[in-house]
Amino acid sequence: MRSETERVLKMLEQRLGIVYRDRRLLHEAMTLEGPHEALRGTPDNERLEFLGDAVLGMVVAEYLYRLFPGEKEGPLTRRRMAVVSGETLDHLARQLGLQSLLKALHAPRILRQDADRGSVVEALIGALYLDQGMEACRELIERLLLSRMDELFERRRDFKSEVNNLLQELAGNPPTFDTQFNRRTHDGQEFISKLSVRNVLIAEGIGATKREAEYAASKAALGTRSEWEPKLAPGTRSAFATIGEALKKSR
């Protein structure tokens, strides 16, 4: 194994907080589909991704089953989806800095910004299952994901719809988002989103994608309502909002 590859894999193990016994499995988990001269002879990670997806689902389902003994299938399923969704895994991958490590291993390749990273997390879990079994996977998943479950549930809230409904009620108009590329980071891109209504700036948010930036701006708007609501003076409210209120009173 090349010294640069070994250096990258050791860095990954440090970030995961675990050491793989079989280095070939770890290398395979970080090998993306497609021809690459430097990676010839190493299978891509699709089979490990398949296995890791099943292991992750099983560990999370068992954890939630034991944690919420009175809940029905529907709420349990929604909780599980909050943990195993592609968005959650991609967020974890960014926290681990997987994009920069993948670039080091796949230098000539142009990596997709979102799709590769979440699948690599699943592949790493699949590799760990073959390397050390279910208990090691359970410890890793609980430490990296399940210990942050409240945060994950919070991320699943539809802040954008909430702020849209609120501003429709207060100002008679939906918010507008001006979302632009801000800068490149060591692990991808950063976008900034400015949320306004009737030309009044309400909040700003930053994220690794346009969607995440708008999510962050919506969450910030809900958290700072007392600061911006006074700016929506009666003169800024639309005629439709005023008519709507009059109709409600006349009923």
Q: Which residues are catalytic?
A: 53, 122
Give the phi and the psi of residue 189 in degrees, each rounded to 5: -125, 165
Within 10 angstroms of residue 58's Cβ, the number of other Cβ atoms is: 15
- In degrees, to the nearest 5, what angle opens at C-alpha 56 toward C-alphas 133 and 150? 125
In angstroms, the CA 105 to CA 121 distance is 16
Q: Which residue has the tokens 């954008």?
A: 160
Quote the tokens at residue 71.
């809940």
Categorise residue 129: left if φ over 0, alpha if ψ from -120 to 50, beta otherwise: alpha
In angstroms, the CA 8 to CA 103 distance is 10
Can you say how many angstroms the Cα of residue 34 is from the centroid of all Cα atoms in its chain?
25
Contact call for residues 152 and 214 (beta carbons, < 8 A): no
